[in-house]
Amino acid sequence: MIAKVEPLTPARALRGPFDYRLPGDMAQVDVGSMLVVPFGRRRLLGVVVGLAEESDLPPERLVEPLAALESGVPPELVRLGLWVGDEYCSTPARGLALVLPPGTGTGGLPRVGVRLALTAEMTAAGRTALSGDDRLGPRQRAALEHLVEGPRPAALLVRAAECDHSTLRALEARGLIELDRVEQRRRPGVVGVGALAPQGLELTPFQRAALGEIERRLESPGCRGAGLLLHGVTGSGKTEVYLRAVASALQRGRSAIVLVPEIALTPQTAARFEERFGDTVAILHSRLGQGERHDEWLRLRRGEARVCVGPRSAVFAPVGDLGLIVIDEEHDSSYKQEGDPRYDARRVAERRAEQSGAVLIAGSATPRPESMLRLERLVLPERVDGRPLPPVELVGSLEAEGVLHERTLDALAAVRERREKAIVLLNRRGWSNFLSCRSCGRVWQCRDCDVTLVLHRTTGRVACHHCGHSEAVPAACPDCGSVSLARHGIGTERLEHELARQLSPLPVLRLDADSAGDRGAVPALLRRFDSLEAGVLVGTQMVAKGHDFPEVTLAVVLDADATLRFPDFRAEERTFALVSQLAGRSGRGPRGGRVIVQCLDPSVRALRYAAAHDAGGFVTGELERRRALGYPPFAHLIRVVCSSREPGPERAAATRIHEAIDPSVAAVLGPAPLFRRAGRERAQVLLKAPADESARVRAVAAVRRAVESAAGDQTLRGASFSVDVDPE
pLDDT in tens, 2-39: 999 998 876 666 777 999 999 988 888 999 998 988 88
pLDDT of the residue at 368: 94
CA 269 vs CA 197, 266, 272, 336: distances in Å = 10, 5, 5, 20
- Contacts of 419 by beta carbon, 8 Å cutoff, 6+ apart: 533, 534
246 close to 324: Cβ distance less than 8 angstroms: yes
Question: Quick one: CATH architecture of 2-97?
Answer: 3-Layer(aba) Sandwich (3.40)
pLDDT in tens, 684-696: 999 999 999 999 9
pLDDT in tens, 360-379: 999 999 999 999 999 999 99
Angle (CA) 696-701-703 rounded to 5° is 95
What CA–CA distance (Å, rounded) separates 123 from 119?
A: 13
Question: Cα 720 vs. chain centroid, distance in angstroms?
Answer: 26
| Identity at 95, one-letter amino acid code | G
Q: Encode burial over 245-274: b for 16+ CB neighbours within 10 A, e otherwise.
A: bbbbbbeeebbbbbbbbbbbbbbbbbbbbb
H/E stretch holding 308 reads: strand 307-310
- DSSP, collapsed to helix, strand or coil, labels residue 276 as helix
What CA–CA distance (Å, rounded) separates 395 from 387?
A: 24
Angle (CA) 679-683-684 rounded to 5° is 135
Stronger pLDDT, 190 or 1, i.e. the higher one: 1
Beta pairing partners, 537: 423, 509
Taking residues 551-580, what's their average pLDDT? 90
Q: Report which listed range, 524-533, 646-655, 709-718, is most confident.
A: 646-655
Task: Please give the model's pTM, rounded to 2 decimal places.
Answer: 0.86
Stronger pLDDT, 593 or 289, i.e. the higher one: 593
From 502, 499, 501, 582, select the one nearest 540 (Cα to Cα): 582
pLDDT of the residue at 268: 74
**Domain at 636-725, CATH class:** alpha beta
Stronger pLDDT, 612 or 518, i.e. the higher one: 612
Cβ-in-10-Å burial (0-12, 13-18, 19+) of 502 comes to: middle
- Contacts of 292 by beta carbon, 8 Å cutoff, 6+ apart: 186, 187, 188
Q: What pLDDT band is residue 300 in, cutting at 50, 70 and 90?
A: very high
Read off φ and ψ for residue 15, nearest 5 degrees.
-115, 100
pLDDT of the residue at 88: 95
- Contacts of 13 by beta carbon, 8 Å cutoff, 6+ apart: none
pLDDT of the residue at 280: 92
pLDDT of the residue at 180: 79
CATH superfamily of 205-380: P-loop containing nucleotide triphosphate hydrolases (3.40.50.300)
CA 23 vs CA 40, 48, 60, 693: distances in Å = 19, 15, 14, 42
pLDDT of the residue at 535: 93
**Domain at 392-430+491-628, CATH class:** alpha beta
Phi-psi region of 89 (alpha: psi -120 to 50; beta: other; left: phi over 0): left
From 380, 186, 366, 386, select the one nearest 292 (Cα to Cα): 186
What CA–CA distance (Å, rounded) separates 8 from 46?
A: 5
β 552-557/594-599 pair status: parallel
What CA–CA distance (Å, rounded) separates 102 from 107?
A: 14
What CA–CA distance (Å, rounded) separates 326 from 352?
A: 12
pLDDT of the residue at 399: 55
Q: Do 205-380 and 392-430+491-628 agree at the fold level?
A: yes
pLDDT of the residue at 414: 93
Question: Considering the chain, what is the average pLDDT of its residues?
Answer: 88
pLDDT of the residue at 488: 87
What is the crossing angle of helices 406-418 and 492-502, to 10°? 60
The domains of the chain are located at 2-97, 116-183, 205-380, 392-430+491-628, 636-725
